[in-house]
């Protein structure tokens, strides 16, 4: 009964490198979300997906790419990491768009 998992939990990378954060859910939820959490900003939505092959931008999408080829997976890629992308990243899923979201444990990313 894994629920929603994220990997890696911690990542250190260098400016300019490509990084992919993984998210996997076992509930077959339709909706999946990526947020970043920064002090003073709370949670800000990066991208979300209503179903496989359907994605849409959130509040802060620049510098990020997502894909959703399977319902259970929603990877987030930083194409060329920047220091401003140092943050804690949370993946979430929900049964419907208006349902409560269930969050993964987060990935702490540091870009040097």
Q: In the bound complex, what is the minimum distance in angstroms from residue 97's beta carbon to other proteins? A: 5
Q: How far is Cα 81 from Cα 97, in angstroms, rounded to an integer?
A: 30
Instruction: Report the residue number, 1 or 40, with the smaller CB distance to other proteins.
Output: 40
Binding region for other proteins (CB under 8 A): 33, 35, 40-45, 48, 50, 56, 58, 90, 92, 97-98, 100-106
Measuring CA to CA, which residue among 59, 61, 60, 3 is closest to residue 27?
Answer: 3
Q: In the bound complex, what is the minimum distance in angstroms from residue 3's beta carbon to other proteins? A: 10
Burial letters 24-34, b for 16+ CB under 10 A, else e: bbeeebbbbbb
Q: In the bound complex, what is the minimum distance in angstroms from residue 18's beta carbon to other proteins? A: 25
């Amino acid at each position: 009964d894994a629920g929603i998992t994220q990997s890696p939990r911690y990542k250190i990378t260098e400016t300019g490198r490509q990084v992919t954060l993984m998210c996997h859910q076992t509930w077959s939820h339709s909706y999946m979300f990526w947020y970043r959490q920064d002090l003073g900003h709370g949670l800000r939505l990066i991208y979300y997906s209503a179903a496989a092959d359907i994605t849409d931008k959130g509040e802060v999408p620049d510098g990020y790419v997502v894909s959703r080829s399977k319902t259970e997976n929603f990877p987030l890629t930083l194409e060329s990491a920047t220091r401003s992308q140092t943050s804690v990243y949370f993946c979430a899923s929900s049964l419907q768009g208006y349902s409560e979201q269930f969050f993964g444990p987060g990935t702490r990313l540091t870009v040097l």
